[in-house]
Structure 1
């Protein structure tokens, strides 16, 4: 049996309107109660993830800010491998560029972020990538479908998952990873089994070992029933 589950949040255990799938929460609790290590992985802030973990009932092991921050358990050390300074410097260049085109970039929860920069999707992410490329900015642009992120290119959900696996005494091959977006690709590739729910874009589905028939939270439930049949056959 796979000993750990790493799951994205938005678009994976929610619906398209970001409403959490309550059956997915019940499934996560079933896994926790069975002794499966459950890690929630997201582009969201640590404080958001802490509240979610408490309400869901996990032990607080998280991957936050798309891998720029991770922690094992609520009492664990908060590791910040991501370099926010380069992201902030890149954002200043982007803000000035798009201001010249009459577009104001809106930062999301900047005071609560440690590693990356996130801003509203009121511009085309490909336009952001073009400016980053033309100015030779040392950042990666991620489109989660909910926000645009600037990230240290040396970190991802995949690198954070491998580091967490070492802390937990596990091999990546013992982990099931589930996601729906481009920021999940490295995580799906690094896991023993990587699953992209059906609403994922083609590049993410191509990176996965399996794609369920269902989308969003229903696809998550379909996945855990497939890979943990003994826990969900009752």
Structure 2
């Protein structure tokens, strides 16, 4: 049996309006109660993730800021492989560019972030990527469908999963990952089993080993029952 589960949050254990799927929470708690470690992985901040872990019922092991931070358990040391200084410098370039076009970029929770930069989806991500390429900025841009993130190169949920697995005494091959967005692709690729829920874009579905029939949280529950059948046949 797979020894750990890493799951994205928004769009994976929620619905399209970011409301938590209660059946997904029950599935997570079934895994936890059976001794399967569950890691919540998101583009969100550590403080958001801590509250979510408490309410869902996990032990506080997280991947946050799209891999820019990760931690083993509530009492573990927060690791910060991301580079926020570089991301902020790139954001200023983008902000100046779009200000010249009459668009002001709205930062999300900058005071609570350690590694990346997130802002509202008020611009075309592809235009922002073109600016990054043209200015040779040493960052990459991620569109999660809920926000746009600037991240240091070489940092992803996948790289965080590998490092976190080492701290957990596991191999990535012993872990299952579930996601729905382009920021989940590396995570789906390095996990032993990668699952994309049906609402995921084509790139994420291609990276996955299996794509669910159901979307959002319903797809997540479908995946958990498929790969942990013994826990749900009792």
Distance, in Å, in 1 between the alignment partners of 2:202 and 2:190 is 18
Distance, in Å, in 2 between the alignment partners of 1:176 and 1:154 is 21
Distance, in Å, in 2 between the alignment partners of 1:232 and 1:212 is 17
SS at match of 1:85: helix
Distance, in Å, in 1 between the alignment partners of 2:209 and 2:233 is 23
Distance, in Å, in 1 between the alignment partners of 2:187 and 2:121 is 23
Distance, in Å, in 1 between the alignment partners of 2:148 and 2:126 is 10
Unmatched runs of 5 consecutive residues or more in structure 1: none
Partner of 1:78: 78
Task: Note the aligned Cα RMSD (angstroms).
Answer: 0.4
Q: Is 1:133 the equivalent of 2:105?
A: no
Unmatched runs of 5 consecutive residues or more in structure 2: none
Partner of 1:38: 38
CA shift for structure 1 position 88: 0.3
Q: Is 1:68 the equivalent of 2:94?
A: no
Which ranges of 4 or more aligned residues in structure 1 deviate by more than 6 Å? Answer: none
CA shift for structure 1 position 154: 1.5
Alignment of 1:1-150 (within 5 A): 1-150=1-150
Distance, in Å, in 1 between the alignment partners of 2:79 and 2:30 is 28
Partner of 2:201: 201
SS at match of 2:70: strand
Alignment of 1:206-221 (within 5 A): 206-221=206-221
SS at match of 1:80: coil
Distance, in Å, in 2 between the alignment partners of 1:147 and 1:88 is 16
The one-character-per-residue Cα deviations of 1:74-125 (angstroms, maximum 9, x if unpaired) are 0000000000000000000000000000000000000000000000000010
Equivalenced residues, count:
234
Partner of 1:154: 154
CA shift for structure 1 position 233: 1.1
The normalised TM-score by structure 1 is: 1.00
SS at match of 2:210: coil
Distance, in Å, in 1 between the alignment partners of 2:95 and 2:171 is 41
SS at match of 2:122: coil
